[in-house]
Amino acid sequence: MTKPTIARIWRGRTPRAKADEYEAYNYEAGIKPLIEKALGVQTFREDRETESEFVTISYWENIEAMSTFAGTDPTKIHHLERDSEFLIELPKEVQILRLLTSHGATGSESERFGLVLRSRADA
């Protein structure tokens, strides 16, 4: 089973009043297509007093695999059609990190999809 070596992290903030609607829209328009390409995807939401922050982490075999989804520059943001309607500001970049180690399960379906990430020494 292919193991991820790269994590791509996207962050965006919405007004709290639009958070539920954005969550549903983001899942349909952004997360579903990402699930088809990445080795794994996690989404997070933090509700604050006046805004909600969304974080999406996708896991990739390598930069080349990520580029098949994100284009030749995987740090470039590809905004969803309605992002400007929801987001407080349009993110200018994503963060790309090398995955060094991971311990334990990363989600409820992680075993089923082979996403229990281990250090290279454990592989």
Question: Any idea where the domains of the chain sit in the sequence?
Answer: 6-98
Q: What angle do CA 75, 24, 111 make, to 5 degrees?
A: 70
Rama region for 57: left / alpha / beta (φ>0; ψ in -120 to 50; rest): beta
Please state the pTM of the whole predicted model: 0.81
Beta carbons of 51 and 16 less than 8 angstroms apart? yes
Q: How confident is the model at residue 114 (pLDDT cuts 50, 70, 90)?
A: very low
Quick: pLDDT tens for 20-76.
999 999 999 999 999 999 999 999 999 999 999 999 999 999 988 888 777 778 888
pLDDT of residue 73: 82
Instruction: Tell me the per-residue pLDDT of 77-111, one tens digit each, with 9 for 90 and over.
Output: 889 999 999 999 999 999 999 998 878 776 544 44
Contact residues for 18 (Cβ-Cβ < 8 A; gap 6+)? 86
Query: What does the pLDDT read at residue 106?
Result: 61
What 3 state SS string does the chain have? Answer: CCCCCEEEEEEEEEEHHHHHHHHHHHHHHHHHHHHHHCCEEEEEEEECCCEEEEEEEEEECCHHHHHHHHCCCCCCCCCCCCHHHHCCCCCCCCEEEECCCCCCCCCCCCCCCCCCCCCCCCC
d(CA 85, CA 72): 27
What CATH number does domain 6-98 carry, 3.40.50.1820, 3.80.30.20, 3.90.640.10, 3.30.70.100? 3.30.70.100
73 CB neighbour count, 10 Å cutoff: 9
pLDDT of residue 4 exceeding 80, the answer is yes
